[in-house]
Amino acid sequence: DAGVIQSPRHEVTEMGQEVTLRCKPISGHNSLFWYRQTMMRGLELLIYFNNNVPIDDSGMPEDRFSAKMPNASFSTLKIQPSEPRDSAVYFCASLIPLAGGADTQYFGPGTRLTVL
Amino acid sequence: GEDVEQSLFLSVREGDSSVINCTYTDSSSTYLYWYKQEPGAGLQLLTYIFSNMDMKQDQRLTVLLNKKDKHLSLRIADTQTGDSAIYFCVRTGGGNKLTFGTGTQLKVEL
């Protein structure tokens, strides 16, 4: 398995533009998480899905952010319109089981977003 | 991450042991984890410990858990330059969520 795949790896856009970040989770695992990482705020959970259904979106900053998971193989995080303060690294993660009943989150490489 | 606290920086010499400490406020977590983030990469699971254990050893890594004091530590023996990274203390939150600490940047000097 190729792990969690995110695209693009880097995105530079201008304020006001729409940005779409993509994630292909690890196949066969039912939970997917979107995070944002900045120096100021650290790692923040934005939203997570279970069986393609959004379970907790309390971390989504505002209405400009939306996320979808139309099927088990694909998820998007969209920002419309984007603002400079959205500049961050966005991670997607799959939940996978470990021995002994624990779970772990397997992270993708991230998308570095810069909004000018 | 405000209920999982870590110091921000740690600097050690190559070959020395590193000890990264973490305190947390919520004692209901079933598992506690250490994740590692190398520059420009995502977070990867390093090791984890069940909450009813006191210690777990995995090669150069030793995790100590003091439930009474709500204190978790990660010791890296014979620290190498490749260990330079940010280390996150993480606890299980509600549901499938994880609560991440602020991260400790480990710098290994020659």
Are the Cβ atoms of A107 and B44 closer than 8 angstroms? yes
Three-state secondary-structure class, residue A57 = coil
Looking at per-residue pLDDT, the higher value among B18 and A97 belongs to B18
Q: Residue A1 above 70 pLDDT? A: no
Q: How do the residues of chain A divide into helix, strand and coil, expressed in percent and rounded to 5? A: 5, 60, 35
From chain A, pick out residues whose CB is under 8 angstroms from the CB of B33.
Answer: 104
Residue B52 token pair:
């009813």
Query: What is the average pLDDT across A34-56?
Result: 93
- Predicted confidence band at B86 (pLDDT cuts at 50, 70, 90)? very high
In 3D, which of A109, A34, A43 has the Cα closest to residue A79?
A: A34
- A11 near A111, Cβ under 8 Å? yes
Are the Cβ atoms of B33 and A104 closer than 8 angstroms? yes
Over the Cα atoms of chain B, what is R_g?
Answer: 13
pLDDT of residue B1: 45
- A43 near A35, Cβ under 8 Å? yes
From chain A, pick out residues whose CB is under 8 angstroms from the CB of B103.
Answer: 42-43
In 3D, which of A66, A73, A91 has the Cα closest to residue A7?
A: A91
